Amino acid sequence: MDYSRAPLSVFLRYLRPHRRLFWIDMLCASLAAAIDLVYPLLSRRAMQELLPHRLYGAFFLLIAILLAAYALKAVLYYIITVVGHNMGVLVEADMRRDIFRKIQSMSFSFFDRNRTGVLMSRVVNDLFDITELAHHGPENVLICSVTILGSLAVMAFLRWELALVLLVFLSVLFTFTLRQRVRMRRANQAVKKTTAEINAAIESGISGVRTAKAFANEEAELEKFDVANARFRTAKREFYRAMGLFTGGMEFTTGAVSVVLIGVGGALIMAGRFDYVDLVTFTLYVSAFVSPARRLAMFMEQYMQGSVGFRRFLELMRAAPDIADAPDARELRVERGEIVYDHVSFAYNAGDMVLEDLSLHLRPGERFALVGPSGGGKTTLCHLLPRFYEVCAGTVSIDGQDVRTVTQESLRRAIGIIQQDVFLFAATVRENIRYGRPDATDAEVEQAAKRAEIHQEILSMPQGYDTWIGERGVLLSGGQKQRLSIARVFLKDPPILILDEATSALDSVTEQRIQKSLDALSAGRTAILIAHRLSTIRSADRIAVVEGGKIVELGTHRELMEQGGVYAALQEAQKMSQ
């Protein structure tokens, strides 16, 4: 879908797949409005013709017809409510699918800039407001427009002077509504923004509750939440002031028009130019006129919320991913697993270079280790390979294929990553391992667990492979979480492997057990190993020392120790700390 179009055009495109429900909703709304328009005319006929001429049978038949009409109106409003809301939910589901897909397509830098709670607000709160607008918007506009215009037409036919009074009233109400619209939109935008801040504060507070409790900082978290909550209260208060002014002005205008019409009608009766029956009919039409006018005016709040939410939706949908497949991108084919960094430079922010003119050649099937001080650029170097970030200069290639010329899906399918901070989903053991290859059979899942040396531990769990592991795997030990992530990569079976400090958070005994699994996993694959514990990478084919965004030393463990440089100093420092 082309999101660069005007907001209304995009909105209508979301309605198009559900146009059958839309037209059913509109037809029922039109019939309901028509019933409201017919009632005063039939009442006028009863008072002017049926009752004076003692046509009581026809009178009661008319009453029965009106009762049947209002029974039909009740059925119509039932259909409007059910069908209209179903249509709104379908539109919301389509939008939520698209915005979730959009978020999934964004690069790491997007998530560096946007908090999870703010994005949650876009996906949940904003879309709910859009749903209400999708349902009630067309329906309210149609019912109110038909009723108002129909009432004006009939009243103009009966007495143009009174119709003119209503037109003046409608002009005043329309002008007042337009003036208040700007203030209400600004106030609602502030509410949306502060709601997103509250969601972010809640998300941060819940996900970090264990850390808060560990430091006894619950009060500090509450204070941070109170700040966001106070901003929300202020924004909401301003919105309600604008809404209150709008509602008060609308109530005065709609109330005053009835008084003015009674006054003008009374004057016409005194002049002998009007009768009481027509005045009663006019009064009924005034009610039929004022009710939708009030409804349309009150709809402004819903319109403001929905339109602001839709604009925020479009803002995200129009955001271009920092990293996208080239128009002629092809599938990556890994035959040997040779990796080349050719004069690569990278910066997260303009002018702040993390890697500068770095060149590196990894041979097929080589176990290549990166060591060095924190912040030197080791993890960044690895993130450039699967294109989590884009190089500023130079190229990164696999088997001679620039990673920018292949599809991201095929590129990332060829690379397995195990990090220190393992992310596990709130699901079962089996589902977390199968994440490595969603179409894998149960037997293949168990085989991957055996290769990761966690099969027996899984069988000892309460429900075995169907054991629920909690949020982020909180019910598992650190070693179990790490071995589950290793099993996941075994199942994926990629030709290239990145181990980013995979054992640095574990104790020495657990690390030795995990290391056996990692050695088995990296066998026969081109593997990049990042480690702070240098004992884990002594068997690497080559070791590069990364410092200040550059490779300052390169060689085997023995060669680097013989050089007596940075690597040897790091080894000595770790020996002294043990």
Which CATH number covers residue 258? 1.20.1560.10
Q: What angle do CA 217, 223, 229 make, to 5 degrees?
A: 140
What CATH number corresponds to the domain at position 460?
A: 3.40.50.300
Calpha distance 77→84 (Å, rounded) = 10
Calpha distance 496→27 (Å, rounded) = 60
Q: Which of the listed residues 266, 289, 317 is the one where a domain comes to its end?
A: 317
Question: Does residue 532 lie within any of the structural domains?
Answer: no
Q: Which of the listed residues 472, 493, 514 is the one where a domain comes to its end?
A: 493
Q: Which of the listed residues 286, 317, 348 is the one where a domain comes to its end?
A: 317
- Residues 296, 433: one domain? no
Question: Does residue 300 lie within any of the structural domains?
Answer: yes
Calpha distance 181→160 (Å, rounded) = 31
**Residues 263, 240 contacting (CB under 8 angstroms):** no
pLDDT beneath 50, residues of the chain: none
- DSSP secondary structure string, 404-470? GGB-HHHHHHTEEEEESS----SSBHHHHHHTTSTT--HHHHHHHHHHTT-HHHHHTSTTGGG-B--
- Residues 306, 434: one domain? no
Q: Tell me what pLDDT residue 475 has.
A: 83
Integer-rounded Cα radius of gyration of the chain: 35
For residue 70, what are its two tokens?
Answer: 């209002």
Tallying the residues shown for the chain, one arrives at: 578
CA atoms within 13 A on the CB side of 422: 30
Calpha distance 285→296 (Å, rounded) = 17
**Residues 56, 46 contacting (CB under 8 angstroms):** no
Question: Does residue 120 lie within any of the structural domains?
Answer: yes
Q: Tell me what pLDDT residue 401 has.
A: 93
Q: Tell me what pLDDT residue 532 has.
A: 74
Residue 41 exposed, middle or buried by CB count within 10 Å (0-12, 13-18, 19+): middle
Question: Does residue 545 lie within any of the structural domains?
Answer: no
- The total domain count for the chain is 2
Q: Tell me what pLDDT residue 394 has.
A: 92
For residue 55, what are its two tokens?
Answer: 């046509």
**How are beta strands 367-371 and 526-530 bridged, if at all?**
parallel
Q: Tell me what pLDDT residue 396 has.
A: 94
- Residues 426, 294: one domain? no
Angstrom CA distances, 88 to 85, 120, 127, 171, 529, stand at: 5, 20, 10, 31, 50
Residue showing tokens 């935008």: 189
DSSP run (H or E) holding 552: strand 550-555
Question: Does residue 185 lie within any of the structural domains?
Answer: yes
Q: Which of 84, 85, 109 is nearest to 348 (CA)?
A: 109
Question: Does residue 63 lie within any of the structural domains?
Answer: yes
- Which strands, in side-by-side order, build the sheet including 496-500? 415-419, 496-500, 526-530, 367-371, 542-547, 550-555
Q: Which of 497, 467, 491 is nearest to 480 (CA)?
A: 467
**How are beta strands 352-362 and 339-349 bridged, if at all?**
antiparallel
Question: Does residue 564 lie within any of the structural domains?
Answer: no
Angstrom CA distances, 267 to 262, 270, 271, 274, 409, stand at: 8, 5, 6, 9, 79
- Residues 232, 100: one domain? yes
For residue 517, what are its two tokens?
Answer: 């699994």
Domain membership of residue 197 as a residue range: 7-317
**Residues 16, 67 contacting (CB under 8 angstroms):** no
Q: Tell me what pLDDT residue 510 has.
A: 65
Q: What is the DSSP letter of 376?
A: S
- Residues 37, 179: one domain? yes
Measured in whole angstroms, the distance separating CA 207 from the mean position of its chain's CA atoms is: 18
Question: Does residue 251 lie within any of the structural domains?
Answer: yes
**Residues 492, 437 contacting (CB under 8 angstroms):** yes
- Which strands, in side-by-side order, build the sheet including 393-398? 352-362, 339-349, 393-398, 401-402
Phi-psi region of 387 (alpha: psi -120 to 50; beta: other; left: phi over 0): left
Q: Tell me what pLDDT residue 398 has.
A: 93
Burial annotation 119-144 (CB, 10 A radius, 16+ → b, else e): bebbbebbbbbbbbbbbbbbbbbbbb
